[in-house]
Structure 1
């Protein structure tokens, strides 16, 4: 029985990490359903982007209030993980405050953890008020109902509970240190939890030990539950922001990719010496590639990574001129729909022993409407606004390309323009011979 708590802790730890590993494997499988794309260029710049955007949070502070509060939560999340390491080692080894021999360094660490925990509580409270009382406009868009709204609030409650448990654990520990309880050696500074003393007045030593142990267990179990909750939450960006910013687009935002097949056709048309009836090369002899994207498997794995990384913060939609003028388009919804469809495809594969069985649905029309796609002005405001280098525009453009080149389903005005370019060499409905007639008019 002496080692029962240690054994129980190891079982809980293995179960938590095992379930997380299973989710990571599923996540990786789903992302790899996308088409391969070469993003091995300019590794130096990619590392700089990751350090600056994901680690340095430079795009978050464009909006100072939300950015500052987010940095508090972000720094708290990273630094308090040192405390989690001590808890894990204590649980495995049966020790208490294993890092206490660090002396004054340990005192500073515990003190900083407590200050950060308090600041996280303040930041989380402000975030909750912004979402539910002030109701900031970008948090009450049509796509932010149901689960997305619940998820945004639930994660705030989880963070609040974890910080309260941490301070309760430390506060009880501090009282036990003052009482000279066995195994509770005097170590650490408690600039916040020491003021919780009135809450513990009249409690016996055994009751305090029970409170401290309960808070300790709930805190670490809560962290393991939070870790596994990430896969089902928008807070997956805590992990994916780093690879997503590394693989983010390096080319100028206004530079769109060209399809090799289309480029070859244009070169053929522009080359007077080319033989249009020449036999296709071995490289061209295969089945022609599908133009654009109608479902998630037509997108690249980087675009699918983007969809899982989306924080649902709504900065993209807030900056979108189409959305501001009442159009149906919301870049945030584009990313949420892509992720939801990808999850549906993944579940289909799981249910059919590794094979996808046609479900009669696709990303186009079943999730993202044509009205949304054609409302986009391709201004790149959404790409510029995203704090983690997500590119909703690339998905919109790929789906537009499918509509135009596979279904000939462009809007009438666009079809007219393309017809004019083909026939007249310009977007206007005037013959080339008549183009300068305006200059002859008196």
Structure 2
């Protein structure tokens, strides 16, 4: 039965990677979930509870996707690209600016915004400065994963861990700040060394034509971020804060006839949200058929430095085998109903940083490749994998040690 469940999961992930005939991921995932229930691989009650647990996370996903698209329509990323170009005066300057922009965008608007909205802007900025694009688009791709550990809203995996770890929004962020900074520092150092030849080019001068700041959109994003921090104290799901921010921008865009109601629905990507729910049911079937028990035997029970490193390593390996979202679901179940917060956060480091090693590690990486392909940029598999080997272990160890120190300080 475990083999059958794993086969269904493999089919769902393969369809997400290949997207045959451009079909949405849900076209395969939903029938697979129904088959898992129909074949008795997971009970209807267990499947229903999995969907109910994922519903707030998926609601947030829809809201943040819409928020990011509306912010882009307001000119936030065009303005940011012009600012990046205007501030680049030395060969390595753009890499540092892109690293900061990608880390900030990932933290606030989630990794999908970095991949879908920021990466094309970075490509255009590099072309405008007559600089090689490779270092900067790799910074976007890597940081969309490794810089997604700061806030509970930075990644779907974070929202799942946030619900399990028992920390407040502010407490989560405080503990994860040092690991976040450690991972970014390692990524920047390795990327700068790896692409040192590309970074030797001097940027071309650009005209001072920075468009005016989109103050309204930036104010809405700032208020939404503040709402994320305050909502946990009021017992409000982050999805409602993201929905409120998206609603404000949507009303403005509709009033100005910059978007249609159908466009709003498309921006929220309901089929992808349905895919996430169906994937959760398939992963629950895999867990029910024995994977959860096997992981329980491997995972340590205490958040010592050794224990945190072991959990982060197991999570990174599993993310690259079954994708990071299924890995998170299975590992959180394996940790039990009341896990130590440190172990949950170590899982998060593994499933967020680990996917930089392989294409299938995260859906964001697959999406990043697709975005680059649409812009005529080819990603070499050997370079991607070798660069992943240079960054992932170092970033994972550095961030896990930083997590251990943060937990010690926080008590």
TM category, shorter: under 0.3
Larger Rg: 1
TM-score, structure 1 as length reference: 0.23
Greater RCO (Cα-Cα under 8 Å, separation 6 or more): 2
Higher helix share: 2
TM-score, structure 2 as length reference: 0.24
